[in-house]
């Protein structure tokens, strides 16, 4: 059986969460100057959060705004399987930080990442986009 290079990730969004995702996506497309997949936006957002220290990641999951972003709109976004490694790493860092005592739900990590991307500097977003391209081209590198 062939190794799959991508998979779908589940987002659980409210109307506000949908708007946040679309705003982040449009911003990334404008910065890159191209039409991009929704998966690119999710990957860049998660990568940006992954770069934060564990305590900062945990605080992102405790942001009160997060509760307004999750909802009943289920969307599946396709991107690289490498995203799973980033998500597992974020969850492990958060548990190690000791601020949140149970492993966070993946959809909450996605929402925290999208919030973090909203507040990130353009240069950081572009750097994460280029890292994503490198990782997808050569998934063996870390």
Q: Phi and psi dihedrals of 35, rounded to 5?
A: -85, 125
pLDDT digits (tens, 9 = 90+) for 88-97: 999 999 888 8
Q: What's the pTM?
A: 0.90
Q: What is the pLDDT of residue 2?
A: 45
Domain borders along the chain are 6-137
* Pair 76, 8: CB distance under 8 Å: yes
Which residues, 6+ apart, have CB-to-CB distance to 60 below 8 Å? 49, 52, 112, 113, 115, 116
pLDDT digits (tens, 9 = 90+) for 101-132: 788 899 999 999 999 999 999 999 999 999 99
Q: What is the pLDDT of residue 97?
A: 81
pLDDT digits (tens, 9 = 90+) for 33-83: 999 999 999 999 999 999 999 889 989 999 999 999 999 999 999 999 999
């Amino acid at each position: 059986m062939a190794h799959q290079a991508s998979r779908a990730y589940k987002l659980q969004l409210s109307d506000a969460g949908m708007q946040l995702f679309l705003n982040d996506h449009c911003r990334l497309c404008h910065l890159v100057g191209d039409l991009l997949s929704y998966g690119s936006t999710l990957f860049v957002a998660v990568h940006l959060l992954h770069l934060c220290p564990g305590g900062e990641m945990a605080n992102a999951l405790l942001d009160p705004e997060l509760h307004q972003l999750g909802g009943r709109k289920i969307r599946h976004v396709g991107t690289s399987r490498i995203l799973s490694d980033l998500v597992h790493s974020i969850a492990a860092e958060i548990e190690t930080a000791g601020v949140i005592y149970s492993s966070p739900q993946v959809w909450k990590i996605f929402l925290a990442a999208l919030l973090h991307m909203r507040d990130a500097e353009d240069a950081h977003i572009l750097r994460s986009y280029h890292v994503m391209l490198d990782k997808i081209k050569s998934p063996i590198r870390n």
